[in-house]
Amino acid sequence: MIRLHDDTASEQRIGQRDLTHWPSGVGRWLVHLAHRLRRVASAQAVLLVTAGVGLLLVAGATLAGLGVYDAVAEHDGVAGFDRPVLNEAISLRNARLDSVLTGFTHLGGPAGMTVIAAIITALMVWRWRSRTPLVLMLLAVAGSLTMTLVGKAAVGRVRPPLGDAVPPFEYSPSFPSGHALNSTVIAGLVAYLVVRRLESRLARALTIAAAAAWAVAIGLSRVFLGHHWLTDVMFGWAVGLAWLLLLITAHRLFLTVRESHRSAATAS
């Protein structure tokens, strides 16, 4: 049986940056709260509680953002360029490109991203003998799926007309784009896990660029094929990035309180 461990000391850094160092006032305040929680719970509990609170904050901000979006869309503001962008996409279509992008966009769907995330997570766990990829990926996927369902249920926006879409057609609510949201979260998390193990600045930059390119390409493929309006995708990117950053913050707090506890134990 494979014995799994938590993050090693080398994984507490990205290049020269120490992930347990918080130079900002807000960061130090978060660390203070995490230390108070650590007095009555484990470092792992700090991670789970912080991630849970972060999910509630992002979900609340999502619902608030939906209200703003509705108000603007009613006056042809944000949504005012959805139709022109879709018309431009329609003008660029051809049978070969439609087929290629249809296959590609399926990779960012619930089934495709689940398989991709499972394979990558399993490889990282096996190669690194670490439980961190599994724990963070489960939290990431659970949060992104929750926010996708909440957003779709709250808005219920209709997708572009079927006459403007490339088959196979989709009928669930359009806003936000689950493909864009989930791809942003999963690709971003994989990049975060990988860059902590890379020594080369160029390799880290390329890893982050590849993750961003994946999320952008999946989102734009949804618009090109007429399965989403551009604002659906933009909102998916924004919410996905917010959840990713909060999840990374939760993990950094876990590393911080764990390191502090270890230092205190060594000193005593």
Is 35 among the residues known to form the active site?
no
Question: Which of 21, 227, 228, 251 does the annotation list as catalytic?
Answer: 228
Whole-number Å distance between alpha carbons of 50 and 34: 8
Count how many Cα atoms sit within 13 Å of the Cα of residue 228 in the half-sphere of its side chain.
26
- What six digits make up the tokens of 148? 């996708």
Among candidate residues 144, 176, 228, 184, the one with its CA nearest the CA of residue 70? 176
| Closest C-alpha to 109, from 262, 259, 225, 206 | 225
Considering 21, 179, 251, 261, which one is annotated as catalytic? 179
228 is catalytic: yes
**Distance, CA of 257 to CA of 268 (rounded, Å):** 17
- 75, 256 Cβ separation under 8 angstroms: no
- Alpha-carbon span 191 to 188, nearest angstrom: 5
- For 21-41, give the DSSP string: ---SHHHHHHHHHHHHHHTTS
Measured distance CA(52)–CA(151) in Å, rounded: 18
Q: In sequence order, which ranges of 74-177 are alpha helices (DSSP H)?
A: 82-92, 95-106, 110-128, 132-155
Contacts with 210 (C-beta within 8 Å, 6 or more apart), sequence order? 187, 191
Residue positions annotated with a catalytic role: 179, 228
